[in-house]
Amino acid sequence: MMSYEQALEKLKSAGQEHVLTNFDKLKEDEQAALLAQIEDMDFSMLHYVHDRDQLPPRGVITPLGAMELSEIEKRKEEFREIGLKAIRERKVGAVLLAGGMGTRLGSDNPKCMYDIGITKHVYIMQRLIENLMDVVNAAGGVYVPLFIMTSDKNHEATTSFMKEHNYFGYDPKCVWFFRQDMAPATDYEGKVYMEEPYRIASSPNGNGGWFISMKKAGLFDTLHELGIEWLNCFAVDNVLQRIADPVYVGAVIDSGCTSGAKVVRKVTPDEKVGAMCLEDGRPSIVEYYDMTPELLEAKDEKGEPAYNFGVILNYLFKEEELERIVNDRLTLHIVEKKIPYMNAEGEHISPKEPNGFKFETLILDMIHELDTCLPFEVDRTREFAPIKNKTGIDSVESARELCKLNGIEL
């Protein structure tokens, strides 16, 4: 383990030596815990709080069309066969991104444990596994290898929940868990907050680190042994999520693209979803808050809004391409957040207003690292019921309505 001197050196180079101010007052095990955290943690991005102009600028945005529902409908059977063949040959794995904090939903438990049932228990995880089982059954009982990303904050709870519920009928031998990294959280000056005298305030470092975290967890060997060629990554919170959807998998394989993204037609051009586009000629996603008035008004040759397809966090990646880009630096997102911390008097503070920054990379930025992407349109009433909030837009309420519409008993 790192010595005190080495830790101080590492902190100094990041301007964070205040972390060790009370080191002498800590108990031995607390000292060890703090040194281990410092050793593990990457502080190299913190200077961007002051040097934001050094972050790479956005490129030129131009439209990228999607494969639309009408075309998919026509070629559905052909795509399904290609997809099912790959699934039967165990070339397709699924990656559940479940490391987020789900702060907007505001439950103490991991989001996957949230129960949306009314007359019976229907946990979010259960919904996801039920949907994946449809594919297992269609593939003649071949289980899709399922990799689940957790974070230090929810790993124990998530794994014991799965065990308690017997993996909701999934084959435990086909499930692997791995943890994502944590990133420090800072005040507006870029100084890390302390959560306890012996612990730096930290949070999961965004969903963009999933593949490097798989590597650190030693899962590349597993991917190779299994012969995985495609990975389908998806968010935990969409209870209508289709996972390893054979038609989608088949369409992407058939297209020759190295990635795919499920998209929905936006309700309005300014809907708050990231839109598929090209950026300097490469596939990319422009976040809704980066949409300029020109982009919002732009039309395609059919007179439709040119940036009309929003991503729903369901991506398909060619595995060998991921290995090629695994060490690429993704865009750093510096996000203002409420960060619970311990003040100089040793009191725990839970701020009501944002008080600093968290540092994240996002999976949507990985699409830009790949040469090609097939945006694949899906019907939002059938496949998109995200739960971000308790009520209102993208909530437990709206997701329940959509489940009902799809004949799912709650």
Residues that bind ligand UTP (CB under 6 A): 97-104, 149, 180, 204-207, 235-237, 313, 388
Q: Which is nearer to ligand UTP, 204 or 274 (CB)?
A: 204
Q: Which is nearer to ligand UTP, 98 or 276 (CB)?
A: 98
DSSP class of residue 238 equals B
d(CA 153, CA 204): 8
Give DSSP secondary structure letters for 24-63: GGS-HHHHHHHHHHHHH---TTGGGGT-GGGSPPP--EE-
Closest approach, Cβ 42 to ligand UTP, in A, equals: 14
Closest approach, Cβ 350 to ligand UTP, in A, equals: 15
Closest approach, Cβ 361 to ligand UTP, in A, equals: 9
Of the candidates 215, 202, 176, 196, the one whose C-alpha atom is nearest the C-alpha of residue 95 is 176
Helix (H, G, I), strand (E, B) or coil at 16: coil
Closest approach, Cβ 204 to ligand UTP, in A, equals: 3
**130: Cβ–Cβ under 8 A, 6 or more apart, which residues?**
168
Nearest residue (beta carbon) to ligand UTP: 100
- Helical pair 28-40 and 4-13, crossing angle rounded to 10 deg: 40
Closest approach, Cβ 176 to ligand UTP, in A, equals: 15
Helix (H, G, I), strand (E, B) or coil at 259: strand
Q: Which is nearer to ligand UTP, 92 or 97 (CB)?
A: 97
What CA–CA distances, in Å, run from 57 to 60, 187, 205, 269, 280?
10, 24, 21, 24, 11
Q: Which is nearer to ligand UTP, 206 or 246 (CB)?
A: 206
Closest approach, Cβ 312 to ligand UTP, in A, equals: 10
> Based on C-alpha coordinates, what's the Rg of the chain?
22
Q: Which is nearer to ligand UTP, 63 or 110 (CB)?
A: 110
CB atoms within 10 A of CB 157: 15
Q: Which is nearer to ligand UTP, 203 or 259 (CB)?
A: 203
Q: Which is nearer to ligand UTP, 182 or 291 (CB)?
A: 182
**Phi and psi for 258 in degrees, rounded to 5?**
-95, -5
Closest approach, Cβ 112 to ligand UTP, in A, equals: 8
Question: Can you read off the two tokens belonging to residue 295?
Answer: 């982009």
Closest approach, Cβ 173 to ligand UTP, in A, equals: 23
Q: List helix spans (H) across 286-409.
A: 293-297, 319-325, 380-383, 396-405
Helix (H, G, I), strand (E, B) or coil at 191: coil
Q: Which is nearer to ligand UTP, 252 or 313 (CB)?
A: 313
